[in-house]
Structure 1
């Protein structure tokens, strides 16, 4: 009788379990169907005519639970940085630091250096005018008050190609398309290397606006063709560097007491850094005999005077990823090329990225890219592949560093929320979406991780091409994912 009773109970448990499993499966299928209907409706209504690729995965199983044209190749824009950053953490390591070194050659006699001063760069995007001032103090500490020789920049760590493929001529004046050399400086702690900040202020009506340059004009020339106009008139001021020149032209009208600020690229970061250093030397009371600056390799016989190390890569990822800094991405690509393939070029760096992807079975034959920042309109990848990358990197020992670098939805702290600080403010998504934005002409992308309304976590990738102003619609899609899942 006891055995019969146990058999009845076990049968009941098995039947109920199968019933529960069937109900769960039906519920999951219903959720997926609802998600499909909801997203498809938004895509058809608001992204008609666009090239759209969307994938949603369970964060912990990696299962693709939804896709809309998941295999369609789309321009990733700055979502390309998701791959670049993963490769950099794997190849360079989160503790990697950039070095900039100060050397002298020759001998010092009665305070005069009978030889050359070398600044050897290795791509540090955090090098500042304050660092150059510290170098000048180090020379004074050596007893040097005059340089009877050359001031030389050693930028041989990278190749001579300053711009990545795909940079449009019309973009070259702006910070997001800055030239890259191994010896470069940044104007502030956003670390937009290879740029200066030019600010104009309306003064007296009819007069030229006043101009402030941060940190230093260097080898650039400013032509002020602007005019201060009455309060209430249109602000038409433009601040641009003419193509392939050192000339920055300011034109248009600026209302009185109004300001306009622009990050403007330098023509060549190495020569700009050296001319800044000349001014720093003069301000420190160090004379020099040659006005011309030079570029050459540091001789083995040169004496190391001082070295500046950057913050760690882990720390640098915050301004880089939060603010989507293209210059840092380009520098990381060349650095990976130098470290991994002994050639500091974009081509060698991209090869290192492909080697990383292949080592993680990321199906790199279907990733098409010619830079690491996402600026090129020739880059292509599908949402299925981006989401696969985001799933795979969770197993890396540096994943916490990677995850922390992503912008956080609706967090107003600029170095936390980054490019998502004013987006996805709904309670369903605020603080629950960690994702990388992307934007080019006609392109909007967003890929990352989210905690859905159910409390479960998912990976998503939404890539939209051939549609202007699609970021609002992308946010609507992400909110639907959070609601339905």
Structure 2
């Protein structure tokens, strides 16, 4: 049985570092594919006149061309796809080497995809922001004597714990580091004067702070905070745990934690920074490429929403939930796959109103497989069945489905109205496949749907290129 205890305690910090090693040890999915599949452009025609060298031998007049025999696609997963635990099922499987669709059940229908949405959020962030972009939190000089302004830059990983402490987010910046910078800069600029007032500026993100279609239980159960540009530790009660209850005032929690570094008698208020104010201190998040991996491995809603919002801002679409679709969908065009039917309501996939066709995902995962267009961090962040992240829990790829352990790299998804699984399979016969499977409600879908998804995926692994659509 695989335990989730270590995951919860470490926040996936170690797992992200182990992904490349465990994948390379027995499951390297880096095979090249024909240009027609790997590239967004049309295949390039072969040169009409091949080069001839002086030593070339005459070519016989009659040649025999040997053509590979067609594969008999006789391996059916139809029974597994009809499992009643899958409720209303949609899915598609694609041969990543040839681009051929091997299996399809409603693959072109755009439906809610739960946390598989994070793959699209990540792809858009990598395109718009780039893998080296960092989210910045800074402190600037205030407009009155003794005043400083803490300016949120959308980094949910910023921690209230002392520097050197491990949190749910490996390599996170710390308020203690920022406070130390500010004290030194303040002493140099204002010798003998105390800091008596801290203004909290979270104006980088617009409201509302909670997507209207989200269930409020997500905050109580500990998966999702209110989305603000200034927060610490994803607004967790316990900074070390991935899943921990979130509060009602992320900005206030961050402000109180920061004020504690400046002694008593400090007033904390909300406001905005003066234009052009002198910077007193700065800390930065891990690069976006790393944040993507931290987000995907344990399906972190907080990082996903931060990336979606910053992507919208930097794309010039706006700073609210309503701006995300206008930024993400155009950004996805850069990967050469038309995002037909895609609708993005949030970055995490929590909303029932998100829409992605399985067929779009099977195409995008071919790009991810080959790390095309800078999508390497998405590949590196995908959980591996039986090995890492949200596919290493004891209820995933268990029993007979464990035969595909180490051979499936995929993003999990769950909301009340559906379970989803989508990603890449190295089949038993060595064929690289991409897939997207949805088990969708009536409103509430039993958690047993994920076992049915795993069983179906393992069956596809067994079939490989012989997979039948019958």
* TM-score (norm: length of structure 1): 0.73
**Distance verdict in 2 for CA 1:442–1:164, change over 3 Å:** closer
Q: Which residue pairs with 1:61 in the alignment? A: 98
**Distance verdict in 2 for CA 1:440–1:346, change over 3 Å:** same
Report the 3-state secondary structure (helix = DSSP H, G, I; strand = E; otherwise coil) of the residue aligned with 2:140: strand
Once residues 397 and 272 of structure 1 are traced to their aligned partners in structure 2, the CA distance between those partners, rounded to angstroms, is 39
Among 223, 227, 231, the residue aligned to 1:176: 223
Contact 1:52 1:72 in 2 (8 A): no
1:62-461 to 2 correspondence within 5 Å? 62-105=99-142, 114-129=145-160, 130=162, 131-141=174-184, 142-143=186-187, 147=194, 149-186=196-233, 193-197=234-238, 263-282=244-263, 287-290=264-267, 293-341=268-316, 343-393=318-368, 394=370, 396-411=372-387, 417-422=388-393, 423-424=396-397, 428-461=403-436
Once residues 433 and 384 of structure 1 are traced to their aligned partners in structure 2, the CA distance between those partners, rounded to angstroms, is 18
Compute the displacement of 1:444 (Å).
1.1
Compute the displacement of 1:302 (Å).
2.7
Q: Which residue pairs with 2:6 in the alignment? A: none
Greater displacement, 166-175 / 344-353 = 166-175
- Superposed CA RMSD in Å reads 2.6
Once residues 389 and 318 of structure 1 are traced to their aligned partners in structure 2, the CA distance between those partners, rounded to angstroms, is 17
Q: Does 1:483 align with 2:462?
A: yes
Compute the displacement of 1:148 (Å).
5.8
Once residues 254 and 371 of structure 2 are traced to their aligned partners in structure 1, the CA distance between those partners, rounded to angstroms, is 41
**Distance verdict in 2 for CA 1:441–1:146, change over 3 Å:** farther
Once residues 193 and 177 of structure 2 are traced to their aligned partners in structure 1, the CA distance between those partners, rounded to angstroms, is 17
Compute the displacement of 1:44 (Å).
2.2
Q: Which residue pairs with 1:237 in the alignment? A: none
Report the 3-state secondary structure (helix = DSSP H, G, I; strand = E; otherwise coil) of the residue aligned with 1:444: strand
Once residues 304 and 377 of structure 1 are traced to their aligned partners in structure 2, the CA distance between those partners, rounded to angstroms, is 42
**Distance verdict in 2 for CA 1:395–1:133, change over 3 Å:** closer
Contact 1:146 1:288 in 2 (8 A): no
Compute the displacement of 1:342 (Å).
5.7
Once residues 120 and 479 of structure 1 are traced to their aligned partners in structure 2, the CA distance between those partners, rounded to angstroms, is 48
Q: Work out which structure has the larger RCO, using CA pairs closer than 8 Å and 6 or more positions apart in sequence.
A: 2
Contact 1:350 1:372 in 2 (8 A): no
Report the 3-state secondary structure (helix = DSSP H, G, I; strand = E; otherwise coil) of the residue aligned with 1:367: coil
Contact 1:120 1:154 in 2 (8 A): yes
Compute the displacement of 1:270 (Å).
1.3
Contact 1:167 1:375 in 2 (8 A): yes
Compute the displacement of 1:440 (Å).
1.1
Compute the displacement of 1:447 (Å).
0.5
Once residues 75 and 67 of structure 1 are traced to their aligned partners in structure 2, the CA distance between those partners, rounded to angstroms, is 17
**Distance verdict in 2 for CA 1:472–1:427, change over 3 Å:** closer
Contact 1:335 1:349 in 2 (8 A): no
Once residues 449 and 250 of structure 2 are traced to their aligned partners in structure 1, the CA distance between those partners, rounded to angstroms, is 35
Contact 2:195 2:262 in 1 (8 A): no
Which structure 2 segments of 5+ residues have no match? 1-59, 163-173, 465-470
**Distance verdict in 2 for CA 1:76–1:359, change over 3 Å:** same
Among 429, 432, 437, the residue aligned to 1:462: 437
Once residues 297 and 455 of structure 2 are traced to their aligned partners in structure 1, the CA distance between those partners, rounded to angstroms, is 21
Among 36, 44, 47, the residue aligned to 2:82: 44
**Distance verdict in 2 for CA 1:268–1:361, change over 3 Å:** same
Once residues 160 and 149 of structure 1 are traced to their aligned partners in structure 2, the CA distance between those partners, rounded to angstroms, is 29
Compute the displacement of 1:115 (Å).
2.9
Q: Which has the larger radius of gyration?
A: 1
Once residues 396 and 147 of structure 1 are traced to their aligned partners in structure 2, the CA distance between those partners, rounded to angstroms, is 53
Report the 3-state secondary structure (helix = DSSP H, G, I; strand = E; otherwise coil) of the residue aligned with 1:176: coil
- The structure with the largest strand share of the pair is 1
Contact 1:52 1:74 in 2 (8 A): no
Compute the displacement of 1:430 (Å).
1.7
Q: Which residue pairs with 1:473 in the alignment? A: 452
Report the 3-state secondary structure (helix = DSSP H, G, I; strand = E; otherwise coil) of the residue aligned with 1:410: coil
Contact 1:180 1:194 in 2 (8 A): no
CA deviation map 1:330-367 (0-9, x unaligned): 11111011111162222223211111134445343412
CA deviation map 1:413-440 (0-9, x unaligned): xxxx110113336564222211100011
Which structure 1 segments of 5+ residues have no match? 1-5, 108-113, 187-192, 198-213, 216-259, 412-416
Aligned residues: 380
**Distance verdict in 2 for CA 1:106–1:88, change over 3 Å:** closer
